Structures are given as structure tokens and as C-alpha cells.
A and B are shown apart, each in its own frame.
Chain A
Amino acid sequence: MTDWRALARTRVSIALPGAAFLVGWIALLELSARNGWTNRVFSPVPSKIARALCEVLATTAFIDALASTMWLLALGYFSACIAGVLLGLLMGYNRRAYFLFEPTLELLRPIPKPALLPPLILLFGLGASMKVSIVFLGALFPVLINTIQGVRSVDPVLVDVARTFRCGVLRTVFRVVLPACMPIVLAGMRVSLGLGLVLVILAEMLTGAHGLGAQLVDAQRAFRVQEMYAWTVVLAALGVALAVAFNLVEQRLISWSSKR
């Protein structure tokens, strides 16, 4: 039987040093700002950030910015996931399709995705379609590459089972190949989600009209320094929330793969 108390004690003893270091670091920031060891205007002051954060969270501007950012991220991310999986299944399953698309993809893939922002701004302007496009392009490749890899790593016995039961191509691909490579596909989707968040914030910072990225830059340009830090905290929390949500979805979808 598991000794839950001993387990809890072990967990606390593992987590304690990390928590203590974090608290110490925040206290040091507070002390150094108050005592003038660092720049009084620009340095983060935890107590003031906390107050600014409370003010920010109470405004409708916060809800608007969060909704705007999340909406663009969702549009770009989910369309990239769907396109990446479909194209990945096609390229992983069909050699001709692979050799047709592979050179183009290898050319586009190494481009650091922020470098696509200037051309996209010219093509789509500063509005939502530009931001959705950059998220889409950034999020596409990890999903696509992992899906191709995943399809190729599927156990041929599973495909033979589908064949002996006379499954057509579509049934084999969507009922056997896709579920079998889901763990690898989801690993790609996890990378894409992080990348998508980076790109939507970056695009908003450049255009400065709507969204969390725009609020961050606005606060900085207006020298509302502690508010700027408050928006950074909001973004950190958003990153954590997305990762947690992703884990929950992943666990539901592929709980079988860890238990096997």
C-alpha cells in the first residue's frame, strides 16, 4: 500500500527549495527597487505590479484584449491543426504526394516565422487576417512534420488488419492510421500551440491595435511601467492555462498510449 503521507512529505521536500527561491527572488526585486539599487522607474516592483494587475483585470479592456487574442489564436491554430493533419496523412500515406510537396515545404519550413510578418502585413494589412495567417503558418509545420512521421511509424500489422477486413482507404486512414499516430500528432500540436501564442502576441505588438500584445506595447510606450509588467504576468498565466488545457485534452484522447 502506498503511504500517502510519506508521498506528500516527499513532494513537499522536492517543491520547497523551488518555492523558496521564487519567493526570495520576488522579495529581492521589491527590496532593490525600494532601496534604489536598481533603476527606480523601469524596474519591476512586485507590490506595484500586483496593484496594477488588479486594476487591469477589473477593466473591460482586459476582457476585450483577451477575447481578441484568443479568437485569432484559435482561428489560426485550429485551421493549422486540421490542414497539418490532412496534408500530413496524405504525404505520409502516399509517396507521390510526399515527393510533390516535400521540396516546397523544406523551403518554407526553415524560415523563422516572424520573418514572414513584413510580407504578410503587405499582403493582408494590419488586421485580423494577417494575424491569423502568421499563426497558421507557424503552427502548421510542427503538426505537419509530426503527422508525416507518425503515419510512417504506424505498425504495419494494424494496416494489414484493416486490409484483411476489407477497409477502404478512407476508413483505414481515419479509423486506423490517424488514431494510431495520435500520440505523435499531439506532440506536434503542443509545440504548435506555444509557437502560435508567440506569433499572435508578436503580431499584435507590431500592429498595436487590439489584443494582449497591443496592450503590452501601449503600456510600455506610455511609460505605465508597472502596468506593462502586469500584462506580462497576464501572458504568463495565459501560457500556463493553455498548456494545462492541452494536457487535459491530450489525456482524454490518448490515455490508452501510456497504459499500454
Chain B
Amino acid sequence: MSEAALQTVPMASSSTARPLLALHGIAKTYASPDSSVPAIESINLTIQSGEFVSIVGPSGCGKSTLLQIVAGLLRPSAGSVQLEERPVSGPPEGMVCLFQQYSRSLFPWLTVERNVEFGFRHLRDESRAAAADRCRRFLAMVGLEDFRARYPWELSGGMQQRVAIARALAAEPRVLLLDEPFSSVDALTRLELQSLILDLWSAAKLTIVLVTHDVEEAVYLSDRIVLLTRRPARIAEVFSNGLPRPRRPVESREDPRFLSLRHELLSRLLRTQ
């Protein structure tokens, strides 16, 4: 990946001390005719610009539901989400969600280039040449500039997720929401994609909220880790991560700070399970 390509991403302003993203008393209840099932109960959380925050919790606890609410894809039963102090009522400008199922989230009838273009073409007044140039730049960032004319189904799973990442970044969001984005690729590809996301995060001054069930992934990537309880999900505890940056895929995972946080999170999770 070239450094020059990374630096072309505009910087998000991070001068304000006010939170970029704020969750106030978020609750979600699924109502059926004879009962109502609470999925999420009063979640309060603030996220600063440039932060990398992970949300972990036992499987089925409602963490993906929470992310969908933050993304504006799902309405909460109570509470509100604010992005830069404006309430989120639908998918807001400057925020993009990356889905877990990359093979289902790319359009199989479009080439890789057209898939990337889909994310921004309708939002900016750009010439065809400028749009093609933007696609090339963002595909170069994920190392896929030579696969522009291919179709998603011609690529491996890891490459498909890279296309989805390029498409998300080409829309130039300030906030990127990741819903277990690396859970369905093999272990080695997962490490590569994690490093890629860290590079892109620091280069583009992104704010990232990651939902994952993988504790090591959360510790390796993030600044803070939000541990959720079992259903109905509440915040059990928020951990600050003292693991120094830049993180290195092998060495960081052997750091005593990594190991102790991983230990703490895993034992807490196993107890709530």
C-alpha cells in the first residue's frame, strides 16, 4: 500500500472536545402480539472524534442491533443517538456501516469499480473521470487496483471484504461502523484485514466503532472496549486499553498489557455466558 494514496483522504476535524457520537438511554424492545422482548436496555456512551471503540459481549446479546441503531438503520424504542450533536433519524451523512456478510453486501452484477462507485457517485457532483480516479485511489489503498474490472464473485473472501472497505472509505465517512467485519474470513486474512483497518483508521483520522465477539481483536484494535451484559444488553464496564500504538500483529499480542486485558475480558465474558 502506498503512503501517498493514504494521505489523499481528507482529515476529519478533531478540534472539538464535545463527543462526536453520543448514545443517550438507548433501548430496544421487540414487541410481539403476546409479549415484548427487551433486547437493549438504557445504553449511554460517548465517543470522541478519532477514537477506535469496540463493543464486545456474549453472542446474541444485541450488539449488532445496537450498531444498527447507531447507523440509523434501526429505530430505538427509547433514547437517541447524536452525531455531532444532531440527532440520528436515518443513516446520517458522514457515517457508513460495513456489514459482516461481505459476500451479500457487494452487488454481484457490478464490477469491483462500479461497486466502489455506488457508495459515492450519487452524493457528489463529480465528472466520470474524477469518479474513476477516486475508485482507483481507494482500491489502491486496499491493494486491489488491478482488480477493478473483475466481479466480486471472482475474488476471494478477504478480497471481497477489501472491496467493501474501499467502497465504504470512498464515501469519505468520518465515522465507520464495523459489524463483525472479519468474522467470516480465515485466521491469516483476518490479521491482514485488521492491520489494514488500523492503517486506514490512523491515515484517514477516522472514528471507528467495531462490534465483535472476538476479544483479541477488540484488544488489539481499540482504544476503549465496551463490555455488554447478556440479553437485555446493558453496559457492564468500559475498559481503557493501555496497549501502546502502533500496534504490531505479532508483538502487540505478546505484550503483558494485551494479555491482562484479554484475560480480564475473557473471564468476565465466560462468567456472564
Contacts and interface: CB of A to CB of B under 8 A. Distances in A.
B91 A158 contact: no
Contacts of B171: 165
A60 interface: no
A158 B105 contact: yes
Interface stretch (B38-46, B95-103, B215-223): B95-103
Nearest to B92: A166
A158 to B, nearest CB: 7
A179 B107 contact: yes
A157 B73 contact: no
A64 interface: no
A205 interface: no
Interface string A229-260: 00000000000000000000000001011011
Interface string B90-131: 110101110101001101110000000011101100000000
Interface residues of A, number: 22
Contact of B108 (A160, A161, A256): A256
A246 B107 CA distance: 24
A10 B98 CA distance: 49
Contact of A176 (B96, B107, B123, B151): B107
B104 A163 contact: no
Q: How large is the interface on B (under 10, 10 to 19, 20 to 34, 35 or more residues)?
A: 20 to 34
Nearest to B71: A164
Residue among A157, A167, A257, A259 having the largest count of chain B Cβ atoms under 10 Å? A157
A117 B216 CA distance: 71
Given A160-B73, A256-B151, A166 B123 contact: yes
Contacts of A165: 91, 96, 118-120, 122-123, 171
B153 A175 contact: no
A171 B122 contact: yes
Contacts of B107: 158, 161, 176, 179-180
Contact of B105 (A161, A168, A175, A179): A161
A27 B176 CA distance: 74
B105 A260 contact: no
A202 B87 CA distance: 62
A101 B205 CA distance: 51
Contacts of A260: 108, 153
A259 B118 contact: no
B263 to A, nearest CB: 35
A155 interface: yes
Interface in B114-161: 118-120, 122-123, 151, 153
Nearest to B115: A161
A221 to B, nearest CB: 51
A212 B132 CA distance: 51
B97 A155 contact: no
Nearest to B122: A171
Nearest to B96: A164
A157 B104 contact: yes
Contact of A163 (B91, B93, B108): B91
B162 to A, nearest CB: 16
A170 to B, nearest CB: 10
A160 B97 CA distance: 9
Nearest to A159: B73
A114 to B, nearest CB: 37
Contacts of A158: 104-105, 107
Contacts of A256: 108-109, 151, 153
A175 B101 CA distance: 20
A257 B97 contact: no
B108 A257 contact: yes
B83 to A, nearest CB: 13
Interface in A163-198: 163-168, 171, 175-176, 179-180, 182
A175 B153 CA distance: 19
Interface of A: 155, 157-158, 160-161, 163-168, 171, 175-176, 179-180, 182, 254, 256-257, 259-260
Interface of B: 71-73, 90-91, 93, 95-97, 99, 101, 104-105, 107-109, 118-120, 122-123, 151, 153, 171
The 7 tightest CB contacts between A and B, nearest first, are: A164-B97, A157-B104, A256-B108, A260-B153, A256-B109, A165-B119, A179-B109
Given A161-B107, A163-B72, 20 more contacts: A157-B99, A158-B105, A160-B99, A163-B73, A163-B90, A164-B95, A165-B91, A165-B120, A165-B122, A165-B123, A166-B91, A168-B122, A176-B107, A179-B107, A179-B109, A180-B109, A256-B108, A256-B151, A257-B108, A259-B153
24 contacts: A155-B104, A157-B101, A157-B104, A160-B105, A161-B99, A161-B107, A163-B73, A164-B71, A165-B91, A165-B122, A165-B171, A167-B122, A168-B122, A175-B118, A176-B107, A179-B107, A179-B109, A180-B109, A182-B109, A257-B108, A257-B109, A259-B151, A259-B153, A260-B108
